[in-house]
Chains A and B, each alone.
Chain A
Amino acid sequence: MKIHEYQAKQIMAEFGVPVPRGRVARSPEEARQVAEELGGPVVVKAQIHAGGRGKGGGIKLASTPQEAERVASQIIGMTLVTPQTGPDGRLVKSVLVEEQVAADRELYLSVLIDNAAGRPLMMASAAGGMEIEEVASRTPEAIYRTTTDPAAGFQPYQGRQLAFALGLGGDLLRPAVQLMTGLYRAFAARDASLAEINPLVVTAPPEPRLLALDAKMNFDDNALFRHPEVAALRDKDEEDPLEVEAQELGINNYVKLTGNIGCVVNGAGLAMATMDSIKLAGGEPTNFLDIGTVNDVARVVNAFRILTADPNVRAILINIFGGMARVDVIAQGIVDAHQQMEVKVPVVVRLAGTNLEEGERILREASLPLIRAEELGEAAEKAVEAAK
């Protein structure tokens, strides 16, 4: 799950990571008020779940509260298009109004899970402000890493190693180690999947200090059950409406794509392989949908509900290889869906695995106008043909 920059900064600040003074505003008037409270020049930043905001006109400077109100009125309500939003962009509903900071240096710092090591990894780079993937591909030697033993936690020596590598000696050493320790603790305590500060700035002399100028936190969906305060930060407006509806109907693994063949599959790997097969047969999937392993007829009906609500769907391909998921339950769901709604597009069904005979009996007795396939390749070809 993703959250907004201002929310990430609040969480990091709780763990002792220094952030610029500022507050979120949901109207131009509120933006002026915040600017008045802060005093001095401010920066007004669009709050959407995507990066690259500056390039799209989503970040503006203001030297007076009146100017803050004016630029906020330009940003709030705009549809912001950045390289990460896709061509449709995102509607901006709020802005973060912060004190302007004169930066002497821009650094990068993040914590994420190193899957190969199975441990949290802290990454730092002196090339702040750039995408870390870009730094990694151009100058991998410019990224410093340290993995943490989860039993011991992040140690001060690890912070010192990174700080010295970044050139943060002298008076900045202690604050740097404190900041890194805080970032690690925020990551671990909230079950984050990413805690990133980019850029982390060293402010201009005479009194240089460290500040998280931009902040991003993503969270492990599987751990939200034990962090209700994090789950409450979810902003459904930032997500695809069909995906939100799917989740509300109990289908958690639905991803909207661009083609015209709707897929219902059990298992993430088979769902991806089914999409790949459709593509190889000359078609394009409208979605990824893993129906999962909970044996619930209503969920199958809901999958039909989602797919038939999508005007792009010209054919539906159901590919089930029962293991924990039972074919008879899926078959009953297909029958119920046809009773409860008008299915106007052709439906291709391929069933195999656990309780297949019972599932076949249910479909036979319902005598629905289904296109049947026995194998995966055949099913994909029939679906592509049916969608034409």
Chain B
Amino acid sequence: MSILVDSHTRVLVQGITGREGGFQTRRCIEYGTRVVAGVTPGRGGETAEGVPVFNTVREAVQETNANCSLIFVPAAFAADAILEAADAGLPVIVCITEGIPTLDMVMVRRRLQGEGIRLIGPNCPGVITPGQCRVGIMPGDVFAPGPVGVVSRSGTLVYEAVDQLTRRGIGQSTCVGIGGDPIPGTTVREVLELFDADPETKALVLIGEIGGSAEQEAAEYIRQGMSKPVISFVAGSTAPPGRRMGHAGAIIAGNTGTAQAKKEALAAAGAVICESPAEIGSTTERVMKERGLL
């Protein structure tokens, strides 16, 4: 078991004929992902990376029964691409694109409200269920199948944490990078809910960062009765307030945004906090052994 994507997922790639879109599509196929279609307006009828290209998402879905979209469309057109995927009825949409205007995401989230569509990202590394399906840009060979669910606002910190886990022989059920934007399609808390309901996920690694209150909302969910252990690292203890640290969402404004406030909220809810990002793997191993999960 896993969440969001598995070996049955049929992926279509929006922006498949672009440089990164093409490179990453090849990587997904090499990993074993079932990529069934690509979409680039005006390039319908061509073939890219060995899959048929369509002009519209609707046409691609009708012809291939795709049930997940992976988006590599440039920022100025990405909101439109997400809405096109939503309109075609795709239940899972993963948007890699970085730099989408915040008000575009306000509009996208409004449009997706109540539709039962799961948007992951934008500005994210995507989702991977190790050994089954890679819908994103992560280095596949770092991941291994197993019992730990990983959720993070940062992409490269997912790789860092997973590398530490895999080196210790601890595999992952699914890893989700929700992205570094202030308005993500899916929140940390929502991913925790999905993992909580997945019987194969035995423990969780939650990687937060400064800015916003996503970690506090996740802590509230943990506090309300999540039974699986949560190991957490929050990046940005050394970041100065008021400065945007790369991610549009990573800026300390007010007291809730600090790494300290987030660590305190998570610890109070029962999560195990790693002070150092180099200790995510060893801490997870220790906690899982203590609970008889390894």
Where the two chains meet, the residues of A that have a C-beta atom closer than 8 Å to any C-beta of B are 113, 115-116, 118-120, 133, 136-137, 149-151, 188, 191, 193, 220-223, 225-226, 253, 255, 257, 265-280, 285, 288, 290, 293, 321-324, 352-354, 375-378, 380
**Interface footprint category on B:** 35 or more
Q: Does B99 contact A (CB under 8 A)?
A: yes
Given A151-B110, A280-B276, does the pair A376, B217 have CB atoms closer than 8 Å?
A: no
Cross-interface CB contact of A220 among B102, B207, B235, cutoff 8 Å? B102
What is the minimal beta-carbon distance from A232 to any residue of chain B, in angstroms?
18
CA A319 to CA B228, docked complex, whole Å: 32
Given A269-B180, A272-B235, A290-B246, does the pair A188, B103 have CB atoms closer than 8 Å?
A: yes
| Interface members, chain B 112-163 (any A CB < 8 Å) | 125, 137-139, 142, 152-157, 159-160, 163
Are B110 and A272 in touch, CB under 8 angstroms?
A: no
CA A284 to CA B95, docked complex, whole Å: 35
Which residues of the other chain, A, contact B96 by a CB distance below 8 angstroms?
324
What is the minimal beta-carbon distance from A185 to any residue of chain B, in angstroms?
13
CA A149 to CA B102, docked complex, whole Å: 15
Where the two chains meet, the residues of B that have a C-beta atom closer than 8 Å to any C-beta of A are 20, 24, 75-76, 96, 98-107, 109-111, 125, 137-139, 142, 152-157, 159-160, 163-164, 180, 182-183, 207, 209-210, 212-213, 217, 233, 235-240, 243-250, 254-255, 259, 275-279
Are B254 and A275 in touch, CB under 8 angstroms?
A: no
Are A222 and B248 in touch, CB under 8 angstroms?
A: yes
Q: Which residue of B lies closest to A86 (CB)?
A: B240
Cross-interface CB contact of A113 among B75, B183, B244, cutoff 8 Å? B183
The listed residue with most A CB atoms (<10 A of its CB), out of B96, B157, B210, is B157
Which residues of the other chain, A, contact B279 by a CB distance below 8 angstroms?
377
Which residues of the other chain, B, contact A220 by a CB distance below 8 angstroms?
101-103, 248
Are B245 and A272 in touch, CB under 8 angstroms?
A: yes
What is the minimal beta-carbon distance from B64 to any residue of chain A, in angstroms?
25
Which residues of the other chain, B, contact A255 by a CB distance below 8 angstroms?
240, 243-245
CA A266 to CA B240, docked complex, whole Å: 19
New A-B contacts (5) at CB < 8 Å, excluding given A151-B111, A225-B76, A352-B139 = A191-B103, A268-B209, A273-B157, A276-B235, A290-B245
Given A133-B254, A323-B155, does the pair A115, B247 have CB atoms closer than 8 Å?
A: no
Are A222 and B246 in touch, CB under 8 angstroms?
A: no
Q: Which residue of A lies closest to B247 (CB)?
A: A268
- Inter-chain contact total with CB atoms closer than 8 Å: 178
Which residues of the other chain, A, contact B183 by a CB distance below 8 angstroms?
113, 115, 118
Cross-interface CB contact of B209 among A150, A272, A278, cutoff 8 Å? A272
Cross-interface CB contact of B210 among A151, A267, A272, A290, cutoff 8 Å? A272
CA A149 to CA B276, docked complex, whole Å: 41
Are B245 and A288 in touch, CB under 8 angstroms?
A: yes
Are A119 and B153 in touch, CB under 8 angstroms?
A: no
CA A276 to CA B109, docked complex, whole Å: 33
Which residues of the other chain, A, contact B125 by a CB distance below 8 angstroms?
323-324
Which residues of the other chain, B, contact A377 by a CB distance below 8 angstroms?
276, 278-279
What is the minimal beta-carbon distance from B237 to any residue of chain A, in angstroms?
5
The listed residue with most B CB atoms (<10 A of its CB), out of A271, A275, A277, is A271
CA A115 to CA B103, docked complex, whole Å: 11
CA A255 to CA B252, docked complex, whole Å: 14
Are A113 and B154 in touch, CB under 8 angstroms?
A: no
Between-chain CB contacts (< 8 Å), 23 pairs:
A113-B103, A115-B183, A115-B212, A150-B103, A220-B101, A255-B243, A267-B156, A269-B157, A269-B209, A269-B235, A269-B250, A270-B160, A271-B246, A272-B245, A276-B277, A277-B277, A288-B245, A321-B156, A323-B159, A324-B155, A352-B163, A353-B159, A376-B278
CA A323 to CA B177, docked complex, whole Å: 12
Are B154 and A270 in touch, CB under 8 angstroms?
A: yes
CA A373 to CA B99, docked complex, whole Å: 32
What is the minimal beta-carbon distance from B20 to any residue of chain A, in angstroms?
7
Question: 5 tightest A-B contacts by CB?
Answer: A269-B154, A268-B246, A267-B156, A377-B278, A270-B156
Are B139 and A273 in touch, CB under 8 angstroms?
A: no
CA A150 to CA B105, docked complex, whole Å: 10
CA A268 to CA B106, docked complex, whole Å: 22
Are B110 and A119 in touch, CB under 8 angstroms?
A: yes
Are B182 and A275 in touch, CB under 8 angstroms?
A: no
Cross-interface CB contact of B156 among A269, A280, A375, cutoff 8 Å? A269
What is the minimal beta-carbon distance from A183 to any residue of chain B, in angstroms?
15
What is the minimal beta-carbon distance from A85 to any residue of chain B, in angstroms?
12
Are A118 and B233 in touch, CB under 8 angstroms?
A: no
Are B250 and A322 in touch, CB under 8 angstroms?
A: no
What is the minimal beta-carbon distance from A10 to any residue of chain B, in angstroms?
21
Are B217 and A116 in touch, CB under 8 angstroms?
A: yes
CA A231 to CA B255, docked complex, whole Å: 30
Are A150 and B106 in touch, CB under 8 angstroms?
A: yes
CA A278 to CA B239, docked complex, whole Å: 12
Given A267-B154, A269-B153, does the pair A113, B278 have CB atoms closer than 8 Å?
A: no
Given A115-B182, A324-B20, A377-B278, does the pair A269, B155 have CB atoms closer than 8 Å?
A: yes
Are B102 and A222 in touch, CB under 8 angstroms?
A: yes
Are B245 and A352 in touch, CB under 8 angstroms?
A: no
CA A352 to CA B158, docked complex, whole Å: 13
Q: Which residue of B lies closest to A151 (CB)?
A: B110
Q: Which residue of B lies closest to A269 (CB)?
A: B154
Are A376 and B160 in touch, CB under 8 angstroms?
A: yes
Are A288 and B246 in touch, CB under 8 angstroms?
A: yes
Given A222-B248, A253-B246, does the pair A269, B152 have CB atoms closer than 8 Å?
A: yes
CA A316 to CA B69, docked complex, whole Å: 40
CA A350 to CA B73, docked complex, whole Å: 31
Which residues of the other chain, B, contact A188 by a CB distance below 8 angstroms?
103
Which residues of the other chain, A, contact B209 by a CB distance below 8 angstroms?
268-269, 272
CA A255 to CA B164, docked complex, whole Å: 28
What is the minimal beta-carbon distance from A251 to any residue of chain B, in angstroms?
11
Which residues of the other chain, B, contact A193 by a CB distance below 8 angstroms?
102
Given A151-B110, A288-B246, A376-B160, does the pair A113, B101 have CB atoms closer than 8 Å?
A: no
